[in-house]
Amino acid sequence: MSDLKIISLLPAATEIVCALGFESNLVGRSHECDYPESVKQLPVCSSAKFNSGSDSAEIDRQVKEILSNALSIYTIDRELIRQLNPDLIITQAQCEVCAVSVRDVEEALEGLLDKECRIISLQPNTLSDVNDDIKRIADYLGVPEKAEVIFELADERLSIINHKLRFLSEKPKVACIEWLSPLMIAGNWTPELVQIAGGNPLLAVNGQHSPFIQFEDLLKENPDIIIVMPCGFSIPRTLQEINLLLDLPGWQELNAVKNNRIYIADGNQYFNRSGPRLIDSVEILAEIINPKQFVFGYEGVGWIKFNV
């Protein structure tokens, strides 16, 4: 496998490949792959058709308009892929909005290469699915033992959290906001992460897609903690649009606001990526939900407290 050429069109897949020790085999990446830092030097094989610098509502409008016309919201650089001549391309089938889809890759590869190129498509909905994806990639690369090392280290970190939480009976109600306009609650694996970290997740079901909600739904559930983690947004990017929440009628009446328990997390680097750093995401949640019990060192980098 030393001469295997890999293109990753999904940030989580890039992180998995690197964690398994195959970073040197990467020859191309998506426009969103940026971790570890060293992968930024790789050729970029995709781009978005919408303006990612627009506000949340405008991004949502652009994406829905593109999809309504049965078009992909991403462009794949076929000529660059032909030049890179990959043996393996890793992408996803989980969400057409989040990253290049397997359908896009299959269409781009049609008649493009003079050899067979394997496509591995990831479609995780739960933490267990993420582990299955890591194992599937490790098995294909011939290093199943490296996947086991990743799982063992993750289990050790989770056991620390589980041990401390045994002595806590209270589970605060936690709402994780994945999009600001329209409002969306983080689903898929996020409810499970909240539960592992000692919280009671609201308005989303583990393993199911993130649902759009009305603000009235949030008022009715009245969370103790609100964590804002928009998909693809860094903390500074989220701060640019935080007024979309602050200006909502009734915002000041929420218990989380009254008790000064509003937090902003880096959704782009942590919660939105279905890779090894989801364990980091659990630790971030544990710090936020039970700050007296957990200090892992993510505050100021992975999350901040927003003082209202």
Give CA–CA dist 109/260, Å, rounded.
51
Is the Cα dihedral 300, 302, 307, 308 positive or negative?
Answer: positive
Give CA–CA dist 300/170, Å, rounded.
26
> Which pair of tokens denotes residue 156?
């050790």
Residue 111 zone, left/alpha/beta (φ > 0; ψ -120 to 50; rest): left
Contact in structure between 98 and 272 (CB atoms under 8 Å): yes
pLDDT at 40: 97
- Specify the range with the lowest mean pLDDT, choosing from 61-65, 173-177, 202-206, 288-292: 61-65
Q: Mean pLDDT across the stretch 6-25?
A: 97
Answer whether residue 308 shows pLDDT above 80. Answer: no
Give CA–CA dist 226/288, Å, rounded.
10
Contact in structure between 194 and 271 (CB atoms under 8 Å): no
Amino acid at site 212: F
pLDDT band per the 50, 70, 90 thresholds, residue 97: low
Provide CB contacts within 8 A for 224, sequence distance 6+: 172, 173, 174, 255, 256, 259, 261
Contact in structure between 254 and 225 (CB atoms under 8 Å): no
What count of other Cβ atoms lies within 10 Å of the Cβ of residue 13? 30
pLDDT band per the 50, 70, 90 thresholds, residue 241: very high
pLDDT at 96: 58
What does the chain look like in DSSP terms, one character per residue?
A: -TT--EEE-SHHHHHHHHHTT-GGGEEEE-TT---SGGGGGSPB-EEESS-TTS-HHHHHHHHHHHHHTT--SEEE-HHHHHHH--SEEEEESS-TTTS-BHHHHHHHHTTT-SS--EEEEE---SHHHHHHHHHHHHHHHT-HHHHHHHHHHHHHHHHHHHHHHTT-----EEEEEEETTTTEE--TTHHHHHHHTT-EE-S--TTSPPPB--HHHHHHH--SEEEE--TT--HHHHHTTTHHHHTSTTGGGSHHHHTT-EEEE-IIIIIT--STTHHHHHHHHHHHH-TTT---S-BTTTEEE---
What structural domains and CATH numbers belong to the chain?
A: 6-123 (3.40.50.1980), 169-296 (3.40.50.1980)
Answer whether residue 173 shows pLDDT above 80. Answer: yes
- Specify the range with the lowest mean pLDDT, choosing from 31-40, 85-94, 105-114, 223-232: 105-114
- Average pLDDT over the chain reads 92
